[in-house]
Homo-oligomer: A and B are copies of this chain.
Amino acid sequence: MSRQLKLSSPDQTGVSVIQSQAHATPPSSLPAGPQQVPQLDPADPPGGKAVSLGKMKKPHADKDSDEYRQRRERNNLAVKKSRMRSKQKAMDTQQRVNELKEENERLEAKIKLLSKELSVLKDLFLEHAHNLADNVQPPADGASPAPNNASANGQ
C-alpha cells in the first residue's frame, strides 16, 4: 500500500503528442504528418521554468511504446465501462424516485380510506350508544330520566 502520495505534481509537460496506432484505419491520406512523438523539444521555456530534460523519473509515457498503447486502450475501456455504469445508476435512481412516489400515493390513499372507515365506525358507535340510551329510557315523557341509566359512552 505504499503508494507515493503525490498530491500535486501534475505533470506539466505541456507538450504531448499522441498518435494512435493506425489500426485498420483507412486513412487514405494523411495530412501533414504531425505526429511527432513525445520528446521534449528544444522549445524555449516561456517565461522561465526550464524543465531539465534528461530523463524524467518514470516516463510512463513512451507514447510509442506498445505497452503504453495497450495500457491506454485498456484504461479507455475501463473508463467507458465506468461511465456507463454511472449513467445507469443515475437512471436507476431516477426510476427509484418514481417508484417511491407511486408507492407514496398508494399509501396516502390507503390512509385516507382507513381514516374514513374509522370515522364511520365511530359514528356508528355513537349512534348506537344513543339508541341504547333512548331505548332504555324513551324520552317520551320528557322528564326524569334518572333511573338506571348506564351512561352510554365509549370512546
Contacts and interface: CB of A to CB of B under 8 A. Distances in A.
Interface SS, A side: loop
Could you say how many copies of this chain the assembly holds? 2
Contacts of A110: 111
Interface string A139-152: 00000000000000
Contact of A35 (B17, B114, B118): B17
A12 B35 contact: no
Nearest to A8: B31
Contact of A18 (B18, B115, B125, B136): B18
Interface of A: 8, 10-25, 27, 29-36, 39, 41-44, 46-47, 50-52, 90, 93-94, 96-97, 100-101, 103-104, 107-108, 110-111, 114-115, 117-118, 121-122, 124-125, 128, 136-137, 154
Closest 7 CB pairs of A and B: A16-B34, A10-B31, A14-B21, A100-B100, A107-B107, A31-B41, A114-B114
